[in-house]
Structure 1
Amino acid sequence: MAELVYLDETGSVGRGARRQPELTLVAVVVDETAVQPLADRLHALAMEHLGWIPAGFEFHAREMWSAKGHWTGKQPPELLAAFEAVISTLEELDISVIHATIDKSRLHARHGGTYDQNAYLLALQFLLEKLDRWRTQQALRIVIADEAKEHQLRAVKMVREMQTWAAGAVPGRQLVSIIDSMHFVDSKDSPGVQLADVVAFILHRRTLATQGHPDADSAVARMATVIAEHTPTWRAPWPS
């Protein structure tokens, strides 16, 4: 059995980093038999909530939340309904979620800024190690991430070294279940990456004291609960 592991993150390490104290890297783990059903389901949801499939369309959480792009003119209840429908695919297709969070301010304070540009690699290492410990003997995994030009070469090198001799951004675990290289794709071409983007966005929103409206507060709480129910392994933000 093979699983496709789709990654996306929330929390910049570049422009805007000071306004985003945490970087969270999210993986949605999709069984090989559910890859095409996920694509079909997201296509159907786009038709249901937009009424058509625009050229180059993708589910992009920030645009959805802000009613921008193809979501311009949609009212908050419509947008929240679309969000909840996308998150419901976790239950419909038995998709699991793995995530790892780096507290960037604590990372800076602990290491005097030395590791600031390694926040993505640290999150990636911790996420892959958690993934590798979970059901290690039951599946082989292929990792697919949204394009991240500033990280791609270093991430591919790190994954290769973790597969060979457990050499990550910090000393860690040799990967057993993750095969091949780490692959980067345009999110427009990957429904799995789009789902990871929406999950990552909701995990970020749940850290806020309020969403600005009681209905949005309730919707985010419901979606965060669904995500938690499909998250089999957890780790507190690092450094603690």
Structure 2
Amino acid sequence: MYLAYFDETYSKKNDENSTGEHAIIALVIPADKMSDLESALDGVVAKARKQHPEIPLYAELHAYELNSGVGSWKALKRKPRPRVRIYQDAISAIARIDGLFVCRGSVDLTKRFCEDPHRWALTFALEHVNYCVRGKKDNVIGICDDIPNKLIYQRYFQQFRTEGTQNRFSPDDKLESFVDALHFSPSKFSRPIQAVDLLAYVYRRVHLEPPKDERARLVYDNLWEEIESLFRRGSSRTW
């Protein structure tokens, strides 16, 4: 059994420094490796708290908050180097988990008009996870970061499993590797969702909206080098 955790990331279509892409990143992990991932990320926070006791006990590894020094990481607002080191520790912890891989589905907002880019990016990501897990002759449960309109996408998912995704790129794909419903969980309480958020943010800062500051670009380029192989193990598609 596999577990697939989904999170969105995107760039602004009108920003001259962005690619205009809406993407869904999926972290796919064998169920029997889940405790390894959770323990590893708990260890990252424990190490950070040992060095900086002012960090909350149950600090969330949220990429934007860690990058900006807000939320759980506001005590390190004026300490960018420790925040970078914590991000690096978290990415290294994720990359070391055996059997983990990453899939991506995305919509190119600069080339086509799409009324609901989130739906199509999620559709492509689901199809790719289904394809990869099907090749391993196994099943998978999908879990997404919580969003206000989750019922819409749960209904789409139910439809996909019974009628197929019905898009011209992957006709009759009924997501047969998936079992149960599409679940949603707040990232605050889920280390795996925090993990895919960290991965998605690195993808964004390298491929969608690179930082203008050269030092920041170098940080994210180095993080990307560590996880690029995870993306190669999975698959991706941009529409």
Is the TM-score greater than 0.5?
A: yes
Structure 1 runs not aligned, ≥5 long: 109-114
Q: Using the TM superposition, give the Cα deviation of residue 210 of structure 1 relative to its aligned residue in structure 2, in angstroms.
A: 4.7
Cα distance between partner residues in 2 of 1:24 and 1:36: 27
Post-superposition offset of 1:38 = 1.4
Indicate yes or no: 2:53 matched with 1:48: no
Indicate how the Cα distance of structure 1 residues 199 and 189 shifts in structure 2: closer, same or farther if over 3 A, else same.
same
1:89 paired with 2:87, answer no
Give the structure 1 partner of residue 6 of structure 2.
7
Report if the CA contact (8 A) 1:8-1:26 is conserved: yes
Which of 145, 151, 154 pairs up with 2:152? 154
Query: In 2, are the aligned partners of 1:97 and 1:227 still within 8 Å (CA)?
Result: no
Aligned residue pairs: how many? 226
DSSP-derived class of the 1:43 partner: helix
**Worse overlay, 38-47 or 86-95:** 86-95
Q: Given the superposition, is the C-alpha separation of residues 191 and 106 from structure 1 closer, same or farther in structure 2, using an over 3 Å criterion?
A: same
2:124 maps to which residue?
Answer: 126
How far the C-alpha of 1:176 sits from its partner, in A, is 1.4
> 2:122 aligns to what SS in structure 1?
helix
Q: CA RMSD in A?
A: 2.3
Quote how far apart the aligned CAs of 1:233 are: 3.4
Contact 1:145 1:183 in 2 (8 A): yes
Cα gap change, 1:121/1:196 in structure 2, threshold over 3 Å: closer, same or farther? same
2:2 is paired with a residue of what secondary structure? strand
Residues 169 and 181 (structure 1), Cα distance of their counterparts in 2 relative to 1, 3 Å cut: farther
- Structure 2 gaps, min length 5: none
**Is contact 1:6–1:29 with CA below 8 Å preserved after alignment?**
yes
* Distance in 2 (alpha carbons) for counterparts of 1:105 and 1:214: 26
CA distance in 1, matches of 2:31, 2:65: 29
SS at match of 1:149: coil
Identity %: 23
Distance 2:80 2:217 in 1: 12
Equivalent in the alignment of 2:238: 237
List, as ranges, runs of 4+ consecutive aligned residues in structure 1 with deviation greater than 4 Å.
Answer: 16-20, 168-171
Does the alignment pair 1:67 with 2:72? no
Q: Secondary structure, in 3 states, of the residue corresponding to 2:192?
A: helix
